[in-house]
Amino acid sequence: MSENRVQFATRLGVIATTVGSAVGLGNIWRFPFEAGAHGGGAFLIIDLFFIFIVGIPVVCAEFVIGRHTGSNVRGAFRRLAPGKAWGVVGYIGLLASVLILSFYSVVAGWTLEYIYRSVVGFGGVESVEGLHSQFDAFATSDWRPLMWTLVFLGLNYFILSRGVQKGIERMSNIMMPLLFVILIVFCVNSLMMPAAAEGLEFLFKPDFSKVTPTVMLSAMGQAFFSLSLGLGCLITYSSYFKRDTHLVRTAGVMASLDTLVAVLAGIIIFSAVFTFGMEPAAGPKLVFEILPSIFSRMPGAVIWSTLFFVLLMLASLSSTISMSEISIAYLTDEFGMGRRKATILNIGVAMLLGSLCALSFGALSDWTICGMTVFNFFDYVSSNILLPIGGMVISIFVGWVLKRGIVNEELGAGSGISRVIVSLIVVCLRYVAPLCIALVFLFGLGIF
Ligand code: PHE
């Protein structure tokens, strides 16, 4: 384990770290718009299947690798399977983490703009239409989204290079529960809206006629994205877990809290979507148009709205830090690069690519790759392709290649966990996860 990268995770509470990485824009921004675009209830059911049947076992697999080796992704595979090609997961993870960091920072930048707008009371605009066109005008303009993307990445640089992550972690220990409480308040508020029942029906009543291979691919991508899974982030974090950390329970708690936050966000958004007569399939702008409309109807709008966007920004920050840590750990460990230099390189690349993503709603909206804007392409390739491939390789490695004794010891050690559960996880890793991922790929990508 390198001295350089010990700072962030070593002293973190296990749950706080992993939940801090998992909970972010993926739950509150990405889940509602993906569910909205892909049939609501049907999407949720498939997402839940992937989280609990495929996701939890693969989270356990990353934990087993990380804690057993106490290493970064590349180092971990080098120790476990020297000279073999398994380390390719490390490269997939590196690429995915940079692509995700780039487009994620654009949306995190939107939260910065919305903190500012909340403080100034949205310039006095209160009507739903007014707030919606305000967002459209902002996102399609060039300079402000670009500026906020760079400011957000600058914030990341500041935290990562100074090694003050401990402060962020302490802060998120308070912020995360607060975010949770605030979501519950908003949820109750949304449930009292006139068309709440329609929203709940959309989110919870699956219409299986809407299930297509594309919906399955997107739901699988959402599950991996939301759990920070398949790119080695959890291998890195678990390399700092103590011997007595209960891996299976940690994976279960993390996945459950992550899902709960997404479902709460879904209830809040869809109750409002139907009440305001909006289109659930509005895409990435959905949450940013809906939330201010909800807040403007609550007493103390300025406070609620500011508090919410500050919390969302901090939740995003604890996720982006975990993404950057993958590259920084790799560069410092493998090339002996100083932490500062590695951070500059990581954030520098993200600033370049992030600028393209920020402009892809405006000036560069005509730049398309495979029919998608740069922003959508980065999201699609990383979430729907790279993370599931990474997850598949990790599950095959732990299920088939890693000595069963190591898996049993890591999953069962000191936790009194029953052998049946460990065996079930191994069966999922050997058969269920690789098969499900492969099938969804074959159909979802149109290979079949
Ligand atoms: N899981 C995070 C979220 O939901 C995003 C993330 C993806 C973080 C991959 C780290 C790695 O916001």
Q: What is the mean pLDDT of the chain?
A: 90
Q: CA 414 to CA 412: how far, in whole Å?
A: 6
Confidence of residue 1 (pLDDT cuts 50, 70, 90): very low
| Ligand 1 site-directed mutation target among 95, 107, 226, most atoms within 8 Å of CB | 226
Highest mean pLDDT among 237-251, 350-364, 402-416: 350-364
Phi, psi for 373 (deg, rounded to 5): -70, 165
Does 235 sit in the ligand 1 pocket, CB within 6 Å? Answer: no
Does 21 sit in the ligand 1 pocket, CB within 6 Å? Answer: yes
Does 319 sit in the ligand 1 pocket, CB within 6 Å? Answer: yes
Does 323 sit in the ligand 1 pocket, CB within 6 Å? Answer: yes
CA of residue 220 relative to chain centroid, distance: 13
Q: Quick one: tokens of 156?
A: 């990341």
Residue whose entry in the numeric block shows the structure tokens 């090339």: 335
Mean pLDDT of 231-254: 88
Q: Quick one: tokens of 352?
A: 């370049």
Mean pLDDT of 317-331: 89
Q: What is the pLDDT of residue 126?
A: 82
Handedness of CA 393, 72, 237, 155 (dihedral sign): negative
Q: 126-140 burial string, b = 16+ CB within 10 Å, else e? A: eebeebbebbeebbe
Does 27 sit in the ligand 1 pocket, CB within 6 Å? Answer: yes
Does 226 sit in the ligand 1 pocket, CB within 6 Å? Answer: yes
3-class DSSP state of 91: helix
Q: CA 220 to CA 48: how far, in whole Å?
A: 9
Q: What is the pLDDT of residue 5?
A: 38
Give residue 200 CA to ligand 1 midpoint distance, Å. Answer: 26
* pLDDT over 90 at 397, yes or no: yes
* pLDDT over 60 at 10, yes or no: no
Lowest mean pLDDT among 267-276, 315-324, 331-340: 331-340
What pLDDT, in 10s, does the model give residues 336-378? Answer: 999 899 999 999 999 999 999 999 999 999 999 999 999 999 9
| Ligand 1 site-directed mutation target among 21, 27, 29, 160, most atoms within 8 Å of CB | 21
Give residue 188 CA to ligand 1 midpoint distance, Å. Answer: 26
Phi, psi for 366 (deg, rounded to 5): -85, -15
Atom of ligand 1 at shortest distance to CA of 387? 9
* pLDDT over 80 at 323, yes or no: yes
Does 22 sit in the ligand 1 pocket, CB within 6 Å? Answer: yes
Atom of ligand 1 at shortest distance to CA of 27? 4
Lowest mean pLDDT among 273-277, 353-357, 417-421: 417-421
Does 55 sit in the ligand 1 pocket, CB within 6 Å? Answer: no
- DSSP bridge pairs for 331: none
Mean pLDDT of 260-285: 94
Q: What is the pLDDT of residue 171?
A: 66
Mean pLDDT of 18-45: 95
3-class DSSP state of 373: strand
Confidence of residue 417 (pLDDT cuts 50, 70, 90): confident
- In this structure, which residue's CA is closest to atom 2 in ligand 1? 22
Lowest mean pLDDT among 51-60, 196-205, 437-446: 437-446
Q: What is the DSSP string of 290-332?
A: HHHHHHTTSTTHHHHHHHHHHHHHHHHHHHHHHHHHHHHHHHH
- In this structure, which residue's CA is closest to atom 4 in ligand 1? 26
Looking at the chain, the whole-number percentage of residues with pLDDT higher than 90 is 69
Does 228 sit in the ligand 1 pocket, CB within 6 Å? Answer: yes
* 242 or 122, greater pLDDT: 122
Confidence of residue 102 (pLDDT cuts 50, 70, 90): very high
Does 326 sit in the ligand 1 pocket, CB within 6 Å? Answer: no
- In this structure, which residue's CA is closest to atom 10 in ligand 1? 228
Q: What is the pLDDT of residue 269?
A: 96
Q: What is the pLDDT of residue 8?
A: 38
End-to-end C-alpha distance for the chain, whole angstroms: 43
Q: CA 74 to CA 236: how far, in whole Å?
A: 10
- Going from the C-alpha of 422 to that of each of 235, 378, 416, 429, the distances in angstroms are 19, 36, 11, 11
- Going from the C-alpha of 198 to that of each of 186, 265, 339, the distances in angstroms are 17, 15, 51
Q: Quick one: tokens of 158?
A: 């500041």
* 333 or 294, greater pLDDT: 294
Q: CA 361 to CA 64: how far, in whole Å?
A: 41
Confidence of residue 132 (pLDDT cuts 50, 70, 90): confident
Mean pLDDT of 401-415: 87
Confidence of residue 4 (pLDDT cuts 50, 70, 90): very low
- In this structure, which residue's CA is closest to atom 6 in ligand 1? 228
- In this structure, which residue's CA is closest to atom 11 in ligand 1? 228
Q: What is the pLDDT of residue 3?
A: 40
